[in-house]
Structure 1
């Protein structure tokens, strides 16, 4: 509550000072930013933003799912998927700062009266205009692929492709890492590289500090993690003010990028040797290539298409697998549980190869007059994980009702996920499929 009170005061100051600017407002433009200029031309500024995503959800739960010990094969719930406040600014020609507070995944089964926490807190120095900036702190300047650092307010599909957030909450904090980084744009080439200190597994909410026959993240103090992402922008250039990359420009840009990235860490993983007692350490190695295309079809009408595709090769060590169920509505499984674990989880990350694609179509901007327009979409993840005998195929589809762009957005989505269980030979195969329906209400400033 202390941080929240401070932020409310800061935002109130922004509001008052913005109204008290000496230059008269331009009445031909709508001011949709909470921004305080520090100099006359606005190149030095401090800005504040707010975002809230509410999920109303129906889940067909995985086999054996329980809520506080009570079996439940279907759950309806409401939760705050993401709540965020950003305060950032360009203080001088060279000095930039960025902070983000918030919470993720607050639901009926979360601890109550939680406080806000830092997601990001960095300082950055511009060395050579747009070509090179150096920064450090708790940050999302991550490598591997485009949505390793997603711009959450502009997500096209039900959620960001979570498999791209390779170490989320294992040895980082909701994809943010303690890092030093370099970023910039050399003509059409946009780049980011970072060196990070992995967080302690002892404090992880995603994995216990244990060792098993199959690979897990090692609980020993970790070596440095190296990662980067490079993209060539064939059409319009994208902003790199913050690390978070857009899911859809809603017809405001013509973007065509091809990107590639990596992540590596020495001895990041461990597992038992065949004798069941000796420890084997292995390196973490990830590589990805992706393509992003977002372009208006008829600028006068405002209709547009958004498309994205990615291939990722992941080496997390021997048979590594991780089930993820965002804001999972169940608390555990009983004896009928499967490989998926509880609630809405499914094998999302693992050693092997993953293909991902999404496509969206934006109808003309005045489809419903002042009530906005629609943007239907489809997406799918197809993974060939070493541990599984069958491929993992998840798909989802839905529609975004854009009342004021991404500021006021109502989304209806349905996701189908596979259930993996061991057959008589002990191999993990697809045993069933379950569904998840979500209505999301997003408000952003």
Structure 2
């Protein structure tokens, strides 16, 4: 059993123009430098740091039971001099610990790298095009999940469906378009696939390998195509930036139903008669998100559900990625009250049907948020039970988060 104690110091501005849209009534404006009076010329700066202390009672005898890790350190800056175009850059470091630190910090991994860097242009008031290293992911809402206002302790890992396989930490280099047709929001993209992905296993005639672009020695596997479409039945969510909100704590009345896809021609490869043969990678998802106040006592409910069809190639199984079907959902209830401290118990469940195995993977989660000052200061305690391949893993996670 693992016990992870996470301490996060987060200093960040919100990702939209409306503070309430991020689920906190306390944050008013953020670190924003204005150069005119009509909000057309500005620079906004966001920075956050996340550190962890992890305890495990199942470590090897030559390893310490307690270890420390810098989980995330980020700096995000975006701005514009006219309302017609915007530039965004986002750099940071992830999962730095004593095992992968470098003596002078100049070599090895992980090191600080570019997470996002894109430019975008307003084609009209409701439609935008852009390009660069971006997070305008298709497939599902949870594939573009933000991390400052999660309802659960962290995102459902398998929902970041191509992280490290075709992209750099869930970001691709490519071009995108996004916008609204009334209450219908969309974002679509054509991207390059990474060449040196996480999956570096040798080719097999039993199961496919998914190693990004050019595995066949041609340009056939170089491009990916993705998109997501969501209809807003109630309030229209902000899509100014791609980072999706986990819970609004009842400050909005949101009900969205969405569908998305990810298509990578010849992205997977397996051997046939000792010759590599390409297979298309096709992912499809439908999901629904609901967040609304309940009655007049300050309580609220948040729910999310997704069905995701994964075809990474024949019998593909690599870590959290697997060809097959995935069902995931979570629901939380913000308890009544008006005091600064609010509580939100929640539960989550993941059931993945895996083509390459006669055993399914299940992950059950049970947790509670204590909002000390909305999302700006909160504690999260979560228990997880995971079962797969005749193994059971139990984790208890305690997390503290502050962002300004």
TM class by shorter chain equals: 0.7 to 0.9
Map of 1:26-425 to 2, 5 A cutoff? 31-59=28-56, 75-112=65-102, 113=105, 115-130=111-126, 132-201=127-196, 204=197, 206-208=198-200, 210-212=202-204, 213-218=206-211, 219-220=215-216, 222-273=221-272, 275=273, 277-298=274-295, 301-323=297-319, 348-364=320-336, 366=338, 369-370=339-340, 372-420=341-389
Kindly indicate whether the alpha-carbon contact (under 8 Å) linking 1:403 and 1:409 is maintained by their aligned counterparts in 2.
Answer: yes
| 2:359–2:388 contact (8 Å) kept in structure 1 | no
- 1:54, CA displacement in angstroms? 3.0
Distance 1:223 1:257 in 2: 33
Q: Is the 8 A contact 1:102 1:118 kept in 2?
A: yes
The CA distance in 1 between the partners of 2:199 and 2:266, in whole Å, is 17
1:433-444 aligned within 5 A: 433-444=392-403
For this pair of structures, how many residues does the alignment match? 368
**Cα pair distance change 1:413/1:320, threshold 3 Å:** same
1:76/1:419 CA distance change after superposition, 3 Å: farther
Equivalent in the alignment of 1:19: none
Q: Distance in 2 between matches of 1:302 and 1:78?
A: 38
Structure 1 SS opposite 2:329:
strand
Return the alpha-carbon distance in structure 1 between the equivalents of residues 344 and 163 of structure 2: 29
How far is the alpha carbon of 1:30 from its aligned partner? 6.7
Q: How far 1:264 sits from its partner (Å)? A: 0.3
User: How far does the alpha carbon of each residue in 1:97-116 deviate from its partner, in whole angstroms, 9 at most, with x for none?
Assistant: 11212122223433244642
The normalised TM-score by structure 1 is: 0.78
Q: Is this contact kept in 2: 1:58–1:436, CA < 8 A?
A: no
Matched residue, 2:22: none
What's the TM-score once normalised by structure 2's chain length? 0.85
Structure 2: state its 5+ residue gaps: 1-10, 14-25
Aligned-CA RMSD value:
2.2
Please identify the structure whose Cα radius of gyration is greater: 1
Determine which structure has the larger helix proportion and give its number: 1
- Partners of 2:29 and 2:207 in 1: CA distance: 51
Whole-angstrom CA distance in 2 between matches of 1:54 and 1:441: 10
Match of 1:6 in 2: none
Give deviations 1:11-58, integer Å, cap 9, x for gaps.
9xx9xxxxxxxxxxxxxx974511111220224321112223333334
